[in-house]
Chains A and B, each alone.
Chain A
Amino acid sequence: MYYIVHMTFGEYIREHREALKAEDRRFSVRQVAQRIGVEPAYLSKIERGDVAPPSEAKIRALADELNEDADMLLAMAGKVSSDLQEIIRKRPQLFADLIRQLKTMPDNSILRIARDVRDGDW
């Protein structure tokens, strides 16, 4: 289970990329930037917090590259995954109400609700 840590998005990316780089040079700013399709200078600015976090697609690419959870990185960047937005948009009141009610529930209870199989009419 992932939790939001008290770091900015940029700090978190830098810390994890640097940790990987200590083991493998392929995780330099230049090489990671190249692999996710941005300029190295732009990735440096993201890590320093000089610019806002990148697009959802780039955050997903970074998550994939750094073996991090995309939903967690998106949340750190102040974004909600587009598929979740789509789900909420369809039934906004229901999901807003549900999420507010789940706010203080323990993880195991939330997991149970999330994976309940619904029985319908047959």
Chain B
Amino acid sequence: MIELQNNQLTFRFPEVHKNAICQIDFQRTLRIPDDNREYPLPPGLGRFPVEHVDDFADSLPDSWQEHGGVFIPMYQSEALWINFSGDYPCAVKIAAGKINAVSGKTWSNGLSNDPQDYAVIPEQPWLDGFNVSEDFIRQFIAMPLGEGFTAEEQITGKAEHGGLQIIVYPMKHEVYVELCREQAKRPAIDDLDIQFCVCESAVPDMGLAPGGLMRQEIYEDEYGIDAWDRDHGYRCFIHLANSEQYQAITGHRPPHKPPTASDYTSAGLPWFDYYDDGKALPGSDTLSRLTSVAAKIIEKGKGVLPDNDPVQPKIVKIVGKGNLVRDGEF
């Protein structure tokens, strides 16, 4: 079952194990410059508000009601990252517009290990974008569907789905019990004890497009695909509503636009770098061929992406498994 509380999705699998819980929230962040330079991790500026589709069924497109799930408000060209919490190992598959953000393949339920199309929690504390090459992702950027920017449109040629899709599979009960036994024998390894912790369109649908280049590894599954209980997955469709439409739909004001990367950096605020000794997955060939938003704007002859000046992050905080705080204040 999936619960929504405090703008966070909690996936629970009591039928597998009482500890089998994975929490996912969507962090507001600044858009890193889309200039082919490599940037560290931008901050989390708080959670996006998350609403049940069913609570606003009359004001939303029929397709959203059919998909079920939730929706969040995003401004055009706003970025997000996905924050994972929970210490029970889970395999999480993430897609944008039903394009897998790790493998670049089209959506299917289930998991694949050739190539690996999922991230492993808690080893993977967050995901900021599309897996374009080993150690690098392109930031998730909200763009209106139908203009050719989103990964979905670039790969399939269609603007059908938009949004984000997530499916979570917990580790099998017996594998987890065995893992706990092994962990108990190796008290020095305590990883598992850490608590990981405005579009003008009248249509609210948005999708995610590839933005700037960021250093972030997506880690290889060290447990192997057979560790995951593929009979017990829960999935959720996260629709992206443009912020103006969101206010009209819900009556709630969306969060303010995040600062620009330039303003944030000039204010002397920190960026982040994450270190882990896990082996990183190679990038997806399909995703590596995506054209970023800034390049696409130029390609379309629509000028240049605003607020896209290069920045030089001066303060880069190193975070690791024992310290996963990536909050920014502005």
Which A residues have a C-beta under 8 Å from some C-beta of B? 112, 115-122
Contacts and interface: CB of A to CB of B under 8 A. Distances in A.
A119 B66 CA distance: 9
A112 B68 contact: no
A54 B321 CA distance: 57
B225 to A, nearest CB: 23
Interface in B91-111: 98
B4 A115 contact: yes
A119 B68 contact: yes
Contacts of A121: 66-68
B235 A118 contact: no
Interface string B54-77: 100000000001111110000000
22 contacts: A112-B3, A115-B4, A116-B2, A117-B9, A118-B52, A118-B53, A118-B54, A118-B68, A118-B69, A119-B2, A119-B234, A119-B236, A119-B237, A120-B65, A121-B66, A121-B67, A122-B66, A122-B67, A122-B98, A122-B161, A122-B165, A122-B237
Interface residues of B, number: 22
B3 A119 contact: no
Contacts of A116: 1-3
Q: Which of A112, A120, A121 has the most CB of B within 10 A?
A: A120
Interface in B1-25: 1-5, 9
A120 B68 CA distance: 4
A38 to B, nearest CB: 26
Contact of A115 (B3, B161, B237): B3
Contacts of A122: 66-68, 98, 161, 165, 237
Given A112-B3, A122-B66, A122-B67, A117 B236 contact: yes
Nearest to B12: A112
A88 to B, nearest CB: 14
A119 B235 contact: yes
A120 B237 contact: yes
Contacts of B98: 122
B266 to A, nearest CB: 39
A31 B253 CA distance: 31
Nearest to B237: A122
Given A117-B2, A119-B69, A119-B236, 13 more contacts: A115-B3, A115-B4, A115-B5, A116-B1, A117-B4, A117-B68, A120-B66, A120-B69, A121-B68, A122-B66, A122-B68, A122-B98, A122-B161
